[in-house]
Amino acid sequence: MISRGISSALLDRGVAPLLLVPAVLLLVVILLGPFLYMVWTSLTDLSFALPDRDGNFLGFDNYRRLMREDAIFWHSFGLTMKFVAIVVTLEFLLGFTIALLIFRFVQRRRLVLTLLLVPMMLAPVAVGLIWKLLLQGDFGMVTYYLRLIGILDIRDALLSNADAVLPAIMLIDAWQWTPFVTLVMLAGLLSLPREPFEAAVMDGARPWQIFRDVTLPLLRPIIALVLLLRAIDAFKEFDKIFILTGGGPGTATELLSIYVYRLNFKNWDLGYGAAAAFMIYLVVLILCAVFYKAVYWREGRPRQVTS
């Protein structure tokens, strides 16, 4: 009974926040600690490849080098930005269109969604593997049909063609994540109130006008949310590319996370690698803050985009 008394006391107003301690403690030790260590490392010359570079303090030299001298970093940064911009746009347009079609024409939505969601439930590593099999140069199923309809040259393969490989990976990402956009946008469509639509019909609005002047404005918060969540995720993309190309051919698909992986685990240049890793963290943190302030947080209170 004593332990129950203590538990009850813990749940009492004044001390209830103590229940947060285990969760916060775990995150501080396992995540925040390593993160702070990484920030410290980024200010040193720590390397596991060169014996004399055992963590001498450099100040901001790594960051200066990264910003001013590292052409590959900027190449990766540019690729990543291109990747994020294109996949998020593509996935949004496709996903929203599919959501509208399902909303308008399908009665048994759960069944359709169950099938449609399969790609996004798969481990990204498995997705990479599946498409590696489909795109094999000599026996890949998709390669065969692309050649059959004349899109792909007989000696060409998507994953080893430096010009085609990034668009191919973008399409694979769209294959995996378009269902996510559909799922969220459909939830948004289903949650819309009826009255504005009835009023618009009474006023004699045409379907296109209703879509532009009623549906889209009502969906704006949810559109912002889905774009941001996809952008954050796409910015971190690693698994699929790691399996499909490892960043190659050359550096044609070396997005930021792959470049940081190479700095740390191939070159063992931990100090410099930490500085590059921090740049990824910074971008994600900014996107996160935008998500929180613009989408989740409204007028001083957390809110639900739909109810």
Partner 1 sequence: MSRGWRSFAIGVLIAVLVIALIPWVWMLLTSFKSRLDALADVPVWLFKPTFEHYPTVFLDKNYLPLLWNSILVASVTTALSLLFGVPAAYVFARHDFRGKEDLFFFFLTTRMAPPISVVVPMFLLFTTFGITDTPMAVILAHSTFNLSLVVWMMRGFFADIPREIDEAALMDGHSRFGMFARVLIPLAAPGLAATAVLCFILSWNEFLYAFVLVAFEGRTLTVGIPGLVTPHGTLWGQVAAVAIVATLPIIVFSIFVQKHLVRGLTFGAVKG
Residues 86/177, Cβ–Cβ less than 8 Å: no
For partner 1, the binding residue among 161, 191, 251, 267 (CB under 8 A) is 191
Q: In terms of Cα–Cα distance, which of 268, 262, 280 is closest to 81?
A: 280
Size of the site for partner 1 (CB under 8 A): 104
- Of residues 118-137, those binding partner 1 (CB under 8 A): 118-119, 121-126, 129-134
Under the criterion CB under 8 A, does residue 138 sit at the interface with partner 1? yes
For partner 1, the binding residue among 4, 68, 155, 194 (CB under 8 A) is 4
- Of residues 215-234, those binding partner 1 (CB under 8 A): 222, 225-226, 229, 232
Q: In terms of Cα–Cα distance, which of 248, 285, 293 is closest to 266?
A: 248
Nearest approach in angstroms of CB 163 to partner 1 is: 22
- In the shown chain, the binding pattern of residues 87 to 116 toward partner 1, with x for contact by CB under 8 A and - for none, equals -----------x--xx-xxx---x-xxxxx
Nearest approach in angstroms of CB 44 to partner 1 is: 12
Residues 256/76, Cβ–Cβ less than 8 Å: yes
For partner 1, the binding residue among 70, 83, 188, 223 (CB under 8 A) is 188
What type of residue is 149? I
Residues 63/70, Cβ–Cβ less than 8 Å: no
Residues 66/302, Cβ–Cβ less than 8 Å: no
Nearest approach in angstroms of CB 30 to partner 1 is: 5
Nearest approach in angstroms of CB 16 to partner 1 is: 5
β-partners of residue 44 are 57
Q: Which listed range, 58-66, 78-86, 149-157, 292-300, lies at the site for partner 1 (CB under 8 A)?
A: 292-300
For partner 1, the binding residue among 83, 92, 168, 179 (CB under 8 A) is 179
User: Closest CB to partner 1 among 56 and 114?
Assistant: 114
Under the criterion CB under 8 A, does residue 239 sit at the interface with partner 1? yes
**End-to-end Cα distance, the chain:** 41
Q: What is the DSSP string of 242-274?
A: HHHTTT-STTTT--HHHHHHHHHHTS--HHHHH
Q: Write the CA distances from 59 to 62, 135, 150, 187, 287, integer angstroms.
A: 8, 46, 56, 49, 27
Residue 122 CB-density burial (10 A; 0-12 exposed, 13-18 middle, 19+ buried): middle
CA–CA gap between residue 156 and residue 143 (Å, rounded)? 9
Q: In sequence order, what E strands does 43-189 have?
A: none
- Of residues 63-82, those binding partner 1 (CB under 8 A): none
- In the shown chain, the binding pattern of residues 252 to 281 toward partner 1, with x for contact by CB under 8 A and - for none, equals -----x--xx--xx----x--xx--xx-xx
Nearest approach in angstroms of CB 139 to partner 1 is: 5
Under the criterion CB under 8 A, does residue 156 sit at the interface with partner 1? no
Nearest approach in angstroms of CB 155 to partner 1 is: 14
For partner 1, the binding residue among 87, 88, 183, 241 (CB under 8 A) is 183
User: Closest CB to partner 1 among 35 and 211?
Assistant: 35
